[in-house]
Amino acid sequence: MKSSISCGSESIPFEVYYVDRKTMEIAVHPDGAVVVKAPLDTSQEAIQKRLNRRARWIRKKLDYFQQFKPKTPPRQYVGGETHLYLGRQYRLKLVKSPDSGVKLKGAFFYVMTPHPYEAEKIKTLLDEWYTRHAKLILQKRFTTCYESAKGLKVSSPDILVRMMTKRWGSCSKFGRIVLNTALVRTPLSCIDYVIMHELCHLRIPHHNEKYYRLLAKYMPDWKKRKDRLESVLL
């Protein structure tokens, strides 16, 4: 369900998802999306009332994310363009070749392809490269984070790495953690933050005071890491 709330003279759109949970959650995402997760039997009136009470907080979060815009313009996948890997920038070098592939060497992404001027083919090759490396690196970082958070006393969850459009990661009620392949573009400290964030959700599913105390116990500098992640140019 889509609707909006008023904050001063501004109308802020939001989207509602009815899910099997006991409490209502309001989240503001870095792309400006306002998402509400509400218990199945929640009335529209109750949702609207809650959002109206939280309107100033929502506006404050939107303003916070706005400071990081404009982000990098849409990629054109042309020679000389920069792309990120583990927080560092690398330039594209397009090489005409009968074989297709991507290599990271020095300060460059070398993209070999029979079609060096076709942006979609360059994008596909880079996305495949990122996905392969994301699966390796995120699994390795998960193992490290899980070991450092043994005190959580949670079973090792299933890990799924895939492209996501609005979230860096998620944790299902069944204990499965999903990580965004785009994380491989960010610094390792940010990757570890997202993983620890989701690991703590295995103990406490909601973002409440108790949850943030738990997160701070295992990652005292999580706010600094979160700020850096949200300012990453993707």
Q: Beta-carbon neighbour count of residue 168 at 10 Å?
A: 24
Average pLDDT, the chain: 91
Q: What pLDDT is stored for residue 233 in this prediction?
A: 59
Domain boundaries, the chain: 2-66, 82-130, 136-230
Question: 117 φ, ψ to 5°?
Answer: -110, 10
Across-strand partners of 107? none
Condensed to tens digits (0 to 9), the pLDDT of residues 114-150 reads 999 999 999 999 999 999 999 999 999 999 999 999 9
Question: Is the per-residue pLDDT at 216 higher than 70?
Answer: yes
Question: Is the per-residue pLDDT at 154 higher than 80?
Answer: yes
Closest to 182 in 3D by CA, of 168, 195, 196: 168
DSSP, res 211? H
pTM equals 0.74
Kindly state the tokens that stand for 43: 């009335």
Task: Report the percent of the chain where pLDDT is more than 70.
Answer: 95
Cis before 13 (ω within 30): no
CATH hierarchy code of domain 136-230 = 3.30.2010.10
Question: 29 φ, ψ to 5°?
Answer: -90, 160
Q: What pLDDT is stored for residue 74 in this prediction?
A: 80
Quote the CA–CA distance of 140 and 129 in Å, as a whole number. Answer: 17
